[in-house]
Chain A
Amino acid sequence: MAASVERPQTIQTMIDGVERYNPENAEVLEEYLAGQCKNGEYDLMANLALLKLYQFNPQLSKIPVIINVLAKSLTAIPKPDYNLCMYLLTDYVDVDEVKRLTHLQQLLEQSRYAEFWNAFEKDKDLVKDIAGFEDAIRQVIALVVSMSFQTIAASVLESYFALKGDAFKQFCEKQQWQLNGTTVSIPINKDNEAKTVVVRESIKFEQLTKVIGYSNEM
């Protein structure tokens, strides 16, 4: 799986092959994660490798690190990264912070964006280490919105992004959406276009040569 960051060679060697299981690598991967949090980058494979080390060596695991990994994976929605991380964290399902993050994840998955921002107000402390978390989430929501809508009421969009007034206008500009008074129009892309497509079969000429050959023999 490609990372949205240039993975340094040291990390690459660490997660390839048997080195993945070396518990001494946990610290390096933790530092790498801290870097991801600060710089807004994201590397799923490295984070999963770290969680695997925790799975095998429970004494090494640190809850704050786990929370950071999970919060980072929220920014990858609609990819299933959050679930993939949770599959390696079977022993931590009942930890309070994990439960709160899972609740947030569910709201995002169910596209309940207004509710998400409400709930998020109380849980801001969970993502304090992650720079640009809110912007990353807004990107996730923007992706879904631009796939589904051609025009939408501005008030609805404001509730989806928890943005108002100037901040909202700036956001729309960045997304290249047009704000026309009370509605926002989203440019046509391949996902929000709703065109009827009939998949016709295409026959290549080569496939016909054999049949034409038979008719020749008659």
Chain B
Amino acid sequence: MYNDAFEEDDLVAEVELVAQARYSRNADLEDGFNDEVVVSQQPATVQIPDGVRNFILFFYRNVLENNVYELHNVYDTSFNKLTDKYYTKQSWPEAEIIARLVNNDEVFLTLYRELYYRHIYGRLTPTLEHRFRSYENYCDLFNYILNSEGPVNLELPNQWLWDIIDEFIYQFQSFSNYRDRLKSKSEEEIALLRDNPQIWSTYSVLNVLYSFIQKSRINEQLLVSKKGGDMMEAAGEYGARPLYKNLGYFSIIGLLRVNCLMGDFVLALKMMDNVVLNKKALFARVTACHVTAYYYVGFAYMMMRRYADAIKAFSNVLSFLQRTKPYHSRSYQSEQLARKSDQMYALLAMCIALCPTRLDENIHSQLREKFGEHISKMQKGEEGIPIFEELFQYACPKFISASGRLDGTPRADPYTIYMKTFVTDIRNQIKLPTLRSFMKLYTTMGVDKLAKFLEMDPEELKMQLLVFKQKSRQIKWVSGDLLDGEYLPTSDLDFCLKQDVVHIAESKVGRRYADWFLRNINRCEDIVASLEQRA
């Protein structure tokens, strides 16, 4: 799964990766729109500011020409700058209004509508009608891409493709939560929902994602690539085109997310069967996708009690984010990324409290800064439970229920159930950190004596010891797919019971002098060599 050994050179590669994704050298592009003044304006239409009108014309031209480079600028920078300038409190003009400007080009209008509804969801509050219309728009778009005769001649930037999938799932999530809050709805709205069960239904969402995967044959491509072959051989007619390949790939990550939202963590990880989680994977090119993938993988591991693997996943992506931080702060997504990053720190804090492991220095110091107090409280027994609840609530995804229930019968919120199950699990192990701290001090001790120190009944203590034994071993990933793993010890403390005496053994990691010296010797030599070259 993780094929990286961190080396300093990789930092350069990572920075390039992130910087490339934002290849706008010309950040002042959109200002040019305001300079061109078009004199004639139809009196009967809504006033569209000139900047916006020119932007739309420019945008349309680039879609027609499949100019992915320019489209990326348009999408990433210009659209957001114009939104901030003109449309912070109201929606962009409806598609019908700008239709004349673009010769009523249906494909372009569908793409435009995607941005239009996304803006509404993002900055304003969508009404039921907006939700329905947006769903229909997505259906039109996906129909066009999937069911036209032969692959369509359209190219869009990767960032946009990921955002389409991401937003599609987000709107599905939003709709499911909305649908389940029946109390605040009018009879009319409930009737509308009941009459249209197929709109934003789980099956149709899954259908879209699976169709992309099948059409692009992305799983076959990834399998071939994993074995070292050429992806194009397995690609087929559709999969050879970047549009389909990327949509297929992002759909895999999309399915990872949807399955986690519905509580099927095992299937979620199974989706990632052919995706190798390292820096060179396709998802690394779009930062948001990269972060999403690791977040859900880590969360799924955590819910499967594979804390060691969860810690590894979170550390990996958090180091990446930290190293490339200066390059993110310029993107409009930086707020979302920061939030996801904080959530992952919270999850990491919980996992560390449950399965103490050595962490990379940078991550460790960030973690201590944000959640140091929480971690120490979580390890203090019963009083740590509310902290676990608080962090879980902050960091968990917004779960949804797979099937709607419109008949008004009371229904448990999936989030409450998951939280309860998670906390019950935690409660079974809550006394272990205290037990562990006592056991670290001795090599042998009678059960009765230890019980007295811990103020527990000896029988109770014996059970805690058995629980400790069980919890100190987890399924840990060694090789193969994400779901594989071996039952391995994960704690540095081990013990055995002989009658009523506990024998304790601690495993220590020797200090790694050699590795540190080797790395620094090499670095020093490189610096000296480059100095000599310049001389």
Contacts and interface: CB of A to CB of B under 8 A. Distances in A.
A110 interface: yes
Interface string A92-131: 0110000000000010011110000000000000000000
A80 B203 CA distance: 28
Interface stretch (B71-79, B109-117, B290-298, B412-420): B412-420
A174 interface: no
Contact of A211 (B265, B467, B522): B522
Given A90-B263, A144-B469, A194-B505, A201 B510 contact: yes
A79 interface: yes
Contacts of A192: 496-497
B255 to A, nearest CB: 11
B143 to A, nearest CB: 18
Contact of A147 (B401, B403, B424, B469): B469
Nearest to B418: A87
A150 B496 contact: yes
Contacts of B489: 191
A173 B483 CA distance: 35
A55 B403 contact: yes
Given A198-B508, A208-B518, A56 B475 contact: no
A78 B525 CA distance: 51
A165 to B, nearest CB: 22
A88 B263 contact: yes
B265 A194 contact: no
Contacts of B203: 21, 56
A84 B265 CA distance: 8
Nearest to A18: B210
A106 B428 contact: yes
A45 B269 CA distance: 12
A58 B518 CA distance: 61
Contact of B425 (A83, A93, A196): A83
A58 B470 CA distance: 35
A109 B305 CA distance: 13
Interface residues of B, number: 59
Contacts of A149: 496-498
Interface in A59-96: 78-80, 83-84, 86-88, 90-91, 93-94
Contact of B505 (A90, A147, A196, A201): A196
Contacts of B414: 90
B417 to A, nearest CB: 5
A91 B203 CA distance: 19
Nearest to A109: B428
Interface string A188-218: 0001111111111101000110110010000
A52 interface: yes
B411 A199 contact: no
Given A58-B403, A194-B494, A48 B305 contact: no
A194 B504 CA distance: 6
A94 B401 CA distance: 16
Given A106-B428, A110-B428, A214-B521, A198 B510 contact: yes
Contacts of A176: none
B413 to A, nearest CB: 8
A133 B301 CA distance: 28
B464 to A, nearest CB: 8
A198 B503 contact: no
Question: Which of B405, B466, B475, B515 has the most C-beta atoms of chain A within 10 angstroms of its own C-beta?
Answer: B466
A14 interface: no
A178 interface: no
B66 interface: no
Given A56-B202, A86-B421, A148-B497, A112 B463 contact: yes
Interface in B419-451: 421, 424-425, 428
Question: Which of A44, A152, A183 has the most C-beta atoms of chain B within 10 angstroms of its own C-beta?
Answer: A152
A141 to B, nearest CB: 9
A151 interface: yes
Given A80-B305, A90-B418, 13 more contacts: A55-B262, A55-B264, A78-B473, A80-B304, A106-B428, A109-B425, A109-B467, A110-B428, A111-B466, A194-B503, A194-B505, A198-B509, A203-B515
Interface of B: 202-203, 206, 210, 214, 262-267, 303-305, 401-403, 405, 411-412, 414, 417-418, 421, 424-425, 428, 463-467, 469-470, 473, 475, 483, 489, 494-499, 503-510, 512, 514-515, 518, 521-522, 525
Q: Please list the 3 inter-chain residue pairs (A to B) with the smallest Cβ-Cβ separation, ordered nearest first.
A: A111-B466, A87-B263, A197-B507
